Every structure is written in C-alpha cells, then in structure tokens.
Amino acid sequence: MGTTRETLKFMSMIVALILPFALLQSDAAPTLGAGNDRFQQCVASIDDDAASAYEDAMAWARDTQSVQAYRCAAMALIGQNRHAEGARRLQSLASAVNPAETALRVSLWSQSGNAWLLAREPGQARSVFTRAIVTIESDPSQLPDLLIDRARSYAMERDWRHAEEDLSRSLDIRPDNALALRLRAASRMQQRSFELAQADAIAAVRLEPQNQENTLVLGDVRESIRTGAPFERN
C-alpha cells in the first residue's frame, strides 16, 4: 500500500515529537551510581564534538568496562547521526545489564527505542519499547512515557488502532498529558473518529494553550470534520 501524503505528514509530526538528543539522556543520572560525574561530562562533550566524545568514551570503556562509558559511546554515535548503530549498542547494553538493575535496563531500552525512531525503524523501536514496558509493567507510574513512545512507533507503521490503544492506556494513568492527547487526536483523525479526535485536541489546547502543535492538530481535525476525510496538510 502506498503512503499517502496525510500519512507522511503524520509521520513527520511523530518524528518531530521525539525527544531532542540533548534530552535523550535526561533520565540517566539517577540510574548510574558511581561514575555519574564522568558520565555527565562525557555526555556534555557530545554537543561540542560527538566524534571526539565517542573516542574518549571508548577509551574509558577499555580502561574500566563501565556501563556508563559504553552508554556514552552509544550516545555519541547518535550525536553523529549514526542512529541505528547507537540504537543497537544501547539495546545490547540493556540486555547485558544485570536483570536486577531494572531501572537502568528500562532507561537503556527507552533510549534505544528513541534512537530507532530517529533511524526511522519503527518496528525495531516498537520491539524495544515493548521489552521496556513488560519489564516495568508492575510500576504503572513508569509506563506513560513508554506507552507514548511505543504509540509513536505504531503511528510510523500507520497502525493507528494500536497507537490509539497505547495512548489511551497512557492517559488512563496520566490524564492531563497534552502530548498524549494531541497524538491520540491525530491517530483518531486518521481512523475517521473525528468527534473523538476533536475532543482530544480541545483538551490538549486547554492544557497547553500556548503550544502551537495543539492548535494545529485541532485545526486539522476540524477541517477533517468539514470535509469528511482526514486532513491533508501540503
């Protein structure tokens, strides 16, 4: 089946909503323990010179076999736009970590999944996010962000129904999440559930009235209601 322009537009929106690289490691610090200062310095150096940061991280890894070092090296690859390579390394690292280190494994899988999304490999991303979700499912407070990320994977695969289901699960846990509402509105619009999509978009605008993405999605949904077809943005 060919990819329609409205699908391409939605996929572009999903990719644009992926956390910027500078934020990709934002949840790393609490899980790292010893060596955290060096890890933070290593990560900070990626923005200045990702290639040099990679070499430094690998030298650190050779000396210490530190998880933090290998993680920073993978991030440095992502910083060089070598998204798939970085994603694979983070995924392997998560699998190699002691299973008792649940939070660290989930954080690594989350980063790997986001890197796979940047590589436009939604199937790989979905698989990794699912592993993280299954691992952390006993702690619902940890699930909303992972469910949103997996929904992005489904959306990139044009699997709107499963995207909507994950976003609904996320909103059941964290109802006042404008991002999840906005994405669910777009997903519902693609399924021609225009009234439900409009309700989500209005709720997102109420929560974040200054966010132009919410306003744009609401406008798209209203245009879809007017024409009877998912809105196609040129």
Tell me: the pLDDT tens digits for 184-206? 999 999 999 999 999 999 999 99
Residue 2 predicted with pLDDT over 50: no
Q: Give the integer Cα–Cα distance in Å for 88 and 159.
A: 24
Q: Give the integer Cα–Cα distance in Å for 233 and 217.
A: 11
Q: Which of 215, 154, 228, 151 shows the shortest CA–CA distance to 189? A: 228
Quote the pTM value: 0.84
Which pLDDT value is given to residue 190?
96
Q: Which of 169, 178, 220, 177 shows the shortest CA–CA distance to 197? A: 220
| Dihedral angle of Cα 116, 126, 89, 143, to the nearest 10 degrees | 110
Residue 92 predicted with pLDDT over 90: yes
Q: Give the integer Cα–Cα distance in Å for 216 and 48.
A: 34
For residues 39-43, give the mean pLDDT.
93
| Contact (Cβ atoms closer than 8 angstroms) between residue 64 and residue 52 | no
User: What's the half-sphere exposure (Cβ side, CA atoms, 13 Å) at 120?
Assistant: 7
Tell me the pLDDT band of 139, cut-offs 50, 70 and 90: confident
Domains and CATH numbers, the chain: 21-143 (1.25.40)
Which pLDDT value is given to residue 141?
83
Q: Give the integer Cα–Cα distance in Å for 6 and 14.
A: 12
Which pLDDT value is given to residue 186?
96
Residue 30 predicted with pLDDT over 90: no
